[in-house]
Structure formats: C-alpha cells, structure tokens
Homo-oligomer: A and B are copies of this chain.
Amino acid sequence: MLRIGVIGYGYWGPNIVRNFNAIDGAKVTSLCDLNEDALGKAKKLYPSLATSTDVQSILSSKDIDAVAIITPVFTHFELAKKALENGKHVFVEKPFTSTIAQADELVELAEKKNLKIMVDHTFLYTGAVQKIKQLVDEGELGKLYYYDSMRVNLGLFQHDVNVVWDLAPHDFAIMDYVVPERPLAISATGEIHYNSFEDIAYVTVYCENNVIAHFNVNWLSPVKVRNTLIGGDKKMLVWNDLEADEKVKIYDKGVDVKTRENVYDLLVSYRSGDAWVPRIAQIEALRLEAETFVDCVKNNKTPVNDGLAGLRVVRMLEATNASIKDKGRLVEL
C-alpha cells in the first residue's frame, strides 16, 4: 500500500485526493492545507484522513511514501526538495518549478536518492493525446511540418504568473510528448493590460528539421478555444478538445511537389482525400496518470512525465518569458 500525503487542497487538490484514493494499492493518508475550511470539507468526505496545517506533518512523517504537491508554482521547489531529502517520491503540479536551475536540482536529487518524480501533465493521459502520439509514432502524418495550438478563454487570471505559465505548460508538455523533433529556440510576444502579468501571448518554437510550433494563449477571449493543428507531409490532423465525441480528425490532405527537369520552379498540386475520425478511448486522464505514478513507484519505472519532462517544459517557459520581455528576441533553448 503506497501511503500518499497531499499538500494543497484548493481547486485541483480534491481531484488528486479522489483519484489516488480510488486506486487499489494506494491511499491518501494525510492532507495539509493552510485553510482549515478546506481541511474540514476533506475530513467530511474521508473521515480517516489525517489533516494538518503544518507541512512538516507530511514532509517528515515516517508513514508516508510519496508526496503530492498541489500548491502554487513558487512553492514547488522547496516542498519537493524537502520531500525528496526525506526519501519520499514526488508528484507535483505543473509547471514543475519556477526556474530551470530548480528543476535541474530536483531531478538530480531524485536520481541520487533513487526516487520518482512525476509532473502533473495530465493531458498526456487523455485519449486524444494518446491517439495523436500513436498516429505520429506510426508515421501516419509523415514527416512533421508544424504544430499550431490555440488555447484561449476568459480568465482565470493568476496572481503569481502570466498567461504563458498558466496555459502554455499544457501545450508545451503535449508538444514535448508528441513531436519527435527537439525544440531549438523561441521567439515570443505578449502584452499586459491589467496589473503586471501578460494576459495574451504568442509563442513560436523553432524545432529541428524545420518543424515550427506556435502557441496562442489568451485570458481575454470571449470564447473558449482549444484547438490544435498538426501538419505533416502525408496527413494533417485537427484536435478540437471541446468536441464531445469527435475530438481528433485526420485529413488525407497535403501537397505533392514535383521538380521538373531543367526547370527551376516546382509543380505543386493538392491532394484532398477522405477524412477520418478515430474512436477515442473514454478514459479519465487523471485516474490513469495516478495509476501510472503508483505503478512507477512500485515497479521502479519512469513515467513519460518525469522530472526531465517537467524540466524541458520549464526551459521553454523561461525562454518564452525572456523573449516576451525583449519583444520577440530569439532565445536559444
């Protein structure tokens, strides 16, 4: 039985507790939050849960095997570091840390102590992303050309980070998982209309082999959009995460190019065949992710969303912020 201590019971924490508790072989035994009301609510649902407002009760407890850190990003490093130092596996909310240096240190520490880190990139465990990953891996799309994502809606404004750190970790993590070509450099732009954090941002990521990725994130959109286009030289796909039943569509569309002999210009023609809507497995992503964490801890496996994946996402976030500050200046990764 993996005994899990959860730190943070705000917006997302209840989902974490519920899902870890639903797994055979795991149990949330302790919960910590500064808000006594939140603890009271948890206690009602899970009477046997030990609750406390003191994180030490979890970080230094001998009866806890793993710690789930569901707190604001600026606290991740300190909490995760102590948990690892005390020999506990760590499940941590995305984004992993506030800086690359912090992420590096945690990854190294975990490795030294032979502990697991999982960063909560939940989307990787959705049926849609798993189907997309499969399609790319099987070469269905051919050689990739671009990855273009739009994730916009009204609010929620965060108090400590800009729209990039709030929304883009989802998409950076998905791209990191799905696109085989490594990201090389970032040019990003954005604007601030309230307080001191960007509420709109546009991020271009240059990758190997001429793959270009782009991310449109916006807290000031009147409509909610969750749309991703992925184009390859064989096929292209559209992923609309707001569709109930038909999230992913693959198009047998593309460009055929022939070079005529002795002729400098290209003969470009268009291919437009059938489209195809694969059945997407109806899995609860967070449940599958929690199960994977438990499995990785118990059987010494490495999840796809390990500390290194978290580090790669933080590296893109840091570069994005640096580029935005300099109005699009190219920042190497």
- Pick the interface stretch among A10-18, A191-199, A285-293: A191-199
CB–CB B194/A255 < 8 A? yes
Q: Which of A185, A187, A245 has the most CB of B within 10 A?
A: A187
Query: Once bound together, how far apart are the Cα atoms of A222 and B146, in whole Å?
Result: 12
Known contacts A204-B189, A278-B274; decide if A159 and B216 are in contact (CB<8 Å): no
Interface size on A, residues (CB 8 A): 71
- Pick the interface stretch among A65-73, A104-112, A147-155, A306-314: A147-155
Which residues of chain B are near A220, meaning CB under 8 Å?
A: 145-146, 231, 236, 255
A31-47 with Cβ < 8 A to chain B: 47
Which residues of chain B are near A188, meaning CB under 8 Å?
A: 328
CB–CB B155/A268 < 8 A? yes
Which residues of chain B are near A237, meaning CB under 8 Å?
A: 222
Q: In chain B, what residue has the closest Cβ to A246?
A: B275
Q: In chain B, what residue has the closest Cβ to A331?
A: B328
CB distance from A164 to the nearest CB of B (A): 14
Which residues of chain B are near A255, meaning CB under 8 Å?
A: 154-155, 157, 194, 220
CB–CB B236/A222 < 8 A? yes
Is the CB of A214 closer than 8 A to any CB of chain B? yes
Which residues of chain B are near A191, meaning CB under 8 Å?
A: 145-146, 206, 210-212
CB distance from A11 to the nearest CB of B (A): 15
Q: Which of B257, B277, B326 contacts A277, CB < 8 Å? A: B277
Q: Which of A159, A185, A220, A323 has the most CB of B within 10 A?
A: A220
Is the CB of A1 closer than 8 A to any CB of chain B? no
The 4 closest A-B pairs by CB, nearest first: A187-B328, A222-B251, A222-B236, A275-B277
